Structure 1
Amino acid sequence: MSFYRKTALACLAGLGLGLSARAQENNLHQRSTIYEPPKDAKVIEKLNQWEDQKFGMIIHWGIYAVPGIIESWSICSEDWIERDSTISYNDYKKWYWGQSEKFNPVNFNPEQWADAADAAGMKYLVFTTKHHDGFNMFDTKQSDYKISNGPFADNPKADVAKYVFDAFRKKGFMIGAYFSKPDWHSEYYWWPKYATANRNNNYDIRKNPWRWNKFKEFTFNQISELMHNYGSIDILWLDGGWVRPKETVNEEVISWGAPIPEWSQDIDMPKIAAMAREAQPGLLMVDRTVHGRFENYQTPEQRIPDAKIDNPWESCMTLGNAWGYVPGDTFKSTPKVIHSLAEIVAKGGSLLLGVGPKPDGTLPEEAIKRLEDIGKWMATNGEAIYNTRSVEHYQDGDTYFTQNKEKKKTYAIVCLQENEATPATITWKGNLPKKGSRVKLLQTGKNVKWELNGDEVKVTVPSSIKGKKDVAALAFSFKTI
């Protein structure tokens, strides 16, 4: 193991798994509170289709998988980033970017990824085509810094994004392309003439319009490649919300605490959107945190909103602690993921769960097992998740409520404490079954006994389930009063 690898892994262990509270806040995208509904009929139709899916997978995979550290951020020069003080910043960047020469995923298996996502009950994909470090996971003609121009270049699947998208399309998934608006490897974003002070571009755009126009052209051309060369795309998921027009930086954005330059980092989103939607009619644009007509749904990160949100939204959260692959990462338990999914869907959102493949191109076995276990619950209880919408009274303690789109059926998802025996009876208030109607336990497909006591419903749990300690949640369907 090289000196740089040893020291980098030592000083960045916290960046891979144990980010401090402050670091987490600096590293996460906030959710803008302003929402502008789309007006394009095809976009509205696609958005309604996406809202039916409820559960997706986001895959972060790039050169950061080789040393197993946080994606991109370790080369950003902000005071929440920790690096070994004996290594110069420029030397560290060379070491990090040099991981491209070691990235050779000879066991690349997108079919395994798609199988695991399908087994979990997921319905849509967001794949990282390029993160902030500028390393491209697709065969762009705009840059040589790409997976198809290194040790993996001669592999038949060197154009990685193509094969990932194809594998998930074959499973019937909606397809999303993650794309980082900032590109820290591009000389048009981080000009080598200057130091890289923070996540923003490192020169005054007002004084150097030619250079910024070259970056706009570079960005437009890369997104055009994704929109024209990779089949049907449903979602363009744009990260790096600090790259935005200056006029969109309001008091809310300032309150998030991220560094904001004096100039506008406008990349002409109307032009990009027009091109993208001509190629992909109805394309969902997710320009994260940049409220307006190109943020078709909102994306709170690593958190669940405190209350129901009436516009389309999605919580993007990791299965482990890290977005990408980090050796020894600890994965969330199956009940934890199921409980989060139930809460998110009841509040009107979708869950986009993050999984990071290993540097060899396969998913960690523990992640596959966890996804399989989640899928077992979804196989019998998915009716309470898919194709549902929120209701006014969406929660009673650990019980969450959803409703099918036709508003003919209501679901109660009762989240149970981990490793505790399933009780003999379940109670909840609000969303009471209609008198004389049937209450069905989705897990068994059979009706259960129930009774009303004032404003509370009491359901008898079947003896076949009572006392079990491996039940994450019980879902019931019924007609409401």
Structure 2
Amino acid sequence: MPNTFGATPQIDKFLDWRYGLFVHWNPSSVIGHEISWSRENDKPEQPHKPRAHTVSPRTCIPAELYDSLYRYFDASHWDARDFVAKAKAWGFRYIYLTTKHHDGFCNFDTDLTDYKVTSSSCPAGRDLTREYVDACRELDMGLGIYYSQPDWHHPDYRTENHDRYIQYLHAQIEELCTRYGKIDVWWFDGLTANEKGDNHVTGLATPAAYHEEPNPGLWDAEALLKKMRAWQPDMVINDRCVLQADFYTPEQRVGGFDPENPWESSMTIGGQWAYSFDEVVKSSDEMIGHVVDAACGGGNFVLNVGPDRHGLIPPEQERVLNQIAAWMDAYGHTIYGTRGGPYPRWRWGGATHDGNTIYVHVRRWPELQDRLTLPLGGARPQSVTLLTGEGLTYEVEGDLIHLDLGLQNDNALDNIVEMKLDKLPVLQ
């Protein structure tokens, strides 16, 4: 990916991880409404989008009430080491923690504001980011930091004094980059379009509500990214600081087939990013399908959870995570450490590969004669095995391989065929 700032070689390690965990957690969990977006205020990023269209009127919280929620945010049951250990058992290879979301509350011990978790007014009273990074390092978990450039709480943000806000922004990022040791991945969330004019949520042209032209000057992005490269030379950085960096980030959808450019999709396990009292979670089958589709497309997949104000993951979310973990225990080797392709993702599914071994993920087995035909691209099969059951037969015909599986043997979630070849196919 074109990059003025020198893409870190650690991008390969990042892509090997394939499956990550997002943790959206801050005082919004006290009332169970969406993080930041439920704060009723004029949002500069959406000047033509009425507040009632931003979130449901039922969930709009007056700003003065929202900004007082940190006084009830206790994190009393949060044990970072136990949480990270669970994340490893669930199959995640890296984690992001929200150190600051758009509402401006800081989950770390910043010197620059008292609107933070270590404030004497916040019952949590301790540096949750410090506990998190220490646990990740102890348990060899990939360590990601989420930090929002927008700050609807800061008095200078997007005002005539925005230059003062830029100083605040850069100083906070310096605190995180220089006080918390080595960071593996940094996740910006600037809300505006990137320099190509893409909107991250849809991956399409930016809608009217986000009407602003890409503006790196809004964050003094060029200077900021150069400083971050100096502070953390091995840190992978996403593209949400307007300028392209190491990877791009489709949100609430799985990206397309793009094995040449690093990308990562993120998605909520339920209906919102933060904790909800009445969350309806998505099924484990749906989430496993997204993990597979992302890997086949050449990208990572990050699943988001929202702890409650005490730091506990809701049991309905844990249930889904445990079910996904069981599948990853059995078939994670077809996801971790692989790359997308060589077969493009198609209606039937897609493929990952590790060296000369291809894992064909047939999500929807073709109904025509129960046969899937693939080009070999000059390669010859050494072995062909169905990992998810029995009943597979195959036939090589010239430069084609025909995979046959009777309907009675079809695994409705994912039929995984392991093909060991003498070389990787070269496809036209």
TM-score range, shorter chain: 0.7 to 0.9
For the structure 1 residues 468 and 114, does the alpha-carbon distance in structure 2 shift closer, same or farther, using more than 3 Å as the test?
farther
How far apart in 1 are the matches of 2:79 and 2:259? 37
User: Which residue number corresponds to residue 118 of structure 1?
Assistant: 88
Matched residue of 2:287: which SS?
helix
For the structure 1 residues 411 and 38, does the alpha-carbon distance in structure 2 shift closer, same or farther, using more than 3 Å as the test?
farther
The answer to whether residue 402 in structure 2 is matched with residue 457 in structure 1 is yes
The answer to whether residue 291 in structure 2 is matched with residue 325 in structure 1 is no
The answer to whether the 8 A contact 2:341-2:350 is kept is: no
In structure 1, list runs of 5 or more residues that go unmatched: 1-34, 190-200, 418-422
For the structure 1 residues 277 and 447, does the alpha-carbon distance in structure 2 shift closer, same or farther, using more than 3 Å as the test?
farther
The answer to whether the 8 A contact 1:114-1:171 is kept is: yes
How far apart in 2 are the matches of 1:334 and 1:169? 28
The answer to whether residue 147 in structure 2 is matched with residue 179 in structure 1 is yes
2:361 to 397, 409, 413: 413
The code of the aligned residue for 2:14 comes to W
For residue 125 of structure 1, report the CA deviation from its aligned partner: 1.2
For residue 336 of structure 1, report the CA deviation from its aligned partner: 0.8
How far apart in 1 are the matches of 2:223 and 2:256? 36
1:149 to 116, 119, 125: 119
For the structure 1 residues 111 and 447, does the alpha-carbon distance in structure 2 shift closer, same or farther, using more than 3 Å as the test?
farther
How far apart in 2 are the matches of 1:92 and 1:279? 38
For residue 236 of structure 1, report the CA deviation from its aligned partner: 1.6
The answer to whether the 8 A contact 1:137-1:161 is kept is: yes
For residue 154 of structure 1, report the CA deviation from its aligned partner: 6.6
For the structure 1 residues 254 and 52, does the alpha-carbon distance in structure 2 shift closer, same or farther, using more than 3 Å as the test?
closer
User: Which residue number corresponds to residue 48 of structure 1?
Assistant: 12
The code of the aligned residue for 2:415 comes to L
State the Cα deviation string for residues 348-389 of structure 1 (Å, max 9, x = none): 111011111111111111212211211111112112111111
User: Which residue number corresponds to residue 285 of structure 1?
Assistant: 237
For residue 435 of structure 1, report the CA deviation from its aligned partner: 5.2
The answer to whether the 8 A contact 1:342-1:385 is kept is: yes
User: Which residue number corresponds to residue 162 of structure 1?
Assistant: 130
User: Which residue number corresponds to residue 385 of structure 2?
Assistant: 440
For the structure 1 residues 268 and 438, does the alpha-carbon distance in structure 2 shift closer, same or farther, using more than 3 Å as the test?
same
The code of the aligned residue for 2:8 comes to I
User: Which residue number corresponds to residue 135 of structure 1?
Assistant: 105
The answer to whether the 8 A contact 1:323-1:355 is kept is: yes
How far apart in 2 are the matches of 1:474 and 1:243? 38
The answer to whether residue 224 in structure 2 is matched with residue 256 in structure 1 is no
For residue 38 of structure 1, report the CA deviation from its aligned partner: 6.4
The answer to whether the 8 A contact 1:116-1:371 is kept is: no
For the structure 1 residues 122 and 84, does the alpha-carbon distance in structure 2 shift closer, same or farther, using more than 3 Å as the test?
closer
For the structure 1 residues 178 and 450, does the alpha-carbon distance in structure 2 shift closer, same or farther, using more than 3 Å as the test?
same
Structure 2 counterparts to residues 32-47 of structure 1, below 5 A: 35-37=1-3, 40=6, 43-47=7-11
The answer to whether the 8 A contact 1:243-1:267 is kept is: no
User: Which residue number corresponds to residue 418 of structure 2?
Assistant: 477
The code of the aligned residue for 1:440 comes to T
The answer to whether the 8 A contact 1:132-1:181 is kept is: yes
How far apart in 2 are the matches of 1:123 and 1:280? 20
For residue 232 of structure 1, report the CA deviation from its aligned partner: 1.3
For residue 308 of structure 1, report the CA deviation from its aligned partner: 3.3
How far apart in 2 are the matches of 1:359 and 1:154? 9
The answer to whether the 8 A contact 1:142-1:218 is kept is: yes
The answer to whether the 8 A contact 1:112-1:363 is kept is: no
Structure 2 counterparts to residues 53-68 of structure 1, below 5 A: 53-68=17-32
User: Which residue number corresponds to residue 361 of structure 1?
Assistant: 311
For the structure 1 residues 105 and 268, does the alpha-carbon distance in structure 2 shift closer, same or farther, using more than 3 Å as the test?
same
For the structure 1 residues 133 and 441, does the alpha-carbon distance in structure 2 shift closer, same or farther, using more than 3 Å as the test?
same
Matched residue of 1:45: which SS?
coil
For the structure 1 residues 312 and 154, does the alpha-carbon distance in structure 2 shift closer, same or farther, using more than 3 Å as the test?
closer
TM-score when normalising by structure 2: 0.84
For residue 266 of structure 1, report the CA deviation from its aligned partner: 2.5
How far apart in 1 are the matches of 2:298 and 2:257? 9
1:428 to 372, 383, 402: 372
TM-score when normalising by structure 1: 0.75
The answer to whether the 8 A contact 1:66-1:99 is kept is: yes
How far apart in 2 are the matches of 1:342 and 1:150? 45
For the structure 1 residues 368 and 83, does the alpha-carbon distance in structure 2 shift closer, same or farther, using more than 3 Å as the test?
closer
The answer to whether the 8 A contact 2:76-2:124 is kept is: no
How far apart in 2 are the matches of 1:243 and 1:144? 31
Q: Which 4+ stretches in 1 moved above 6 angstroms?
A: 251-254, 465-469
Matched residue of 1:383: which SS?
helix
In structure 2, list runs of 5 or more residues that go unmatched: 43-48
User: Which residue number corresponds to residue 371 of structure 1?
Assistant: 321
State the Cα deviation string for residues 27-55 of structure 1 (Å, max 9, x = none): xxxxxxxx524663xx4321111111111
Moved more, 452-461 or 280-289: 452-461
The answer to whether the 8 A contact 1:139-1:147 is kept is: yes
How far apart in 2 are the matches of 1:150 and 1:92? 23
How far apart in 1 are the matches of 2:138 and 2:300? 22
For the structure 1 residues 415 and 144, does the alpha-carbon distance in structure 2 shift closer, same or farther, using more than 3 Å as the test?
same
How far apart in 2 are the matches of 1:149 and 1:363? 24
How far apart in 2 are the matches of 1:369 and 1:82? 28
How far apart in 2 are the matches of 1:96 and 1:414? 47
State the Cα deviation string for residues 236-259 of structure 1 (Å, max 9, x = none): 211024398xxx485989743234
The answer to whether the 8 A contact 1:438-1:447 is kept is: no
How far apart in 1 are the matches of 2:213 and 2:413? 50
Q: Percent identity?
A: 26
Structure 2 counterparts to residues 7-18 of structure 1, below 5 A: none
How far apart in 1 are the matches of 2:142 and 2:405? 39
How far apart in 1 are the matches of 2:90 and 2:63? 37
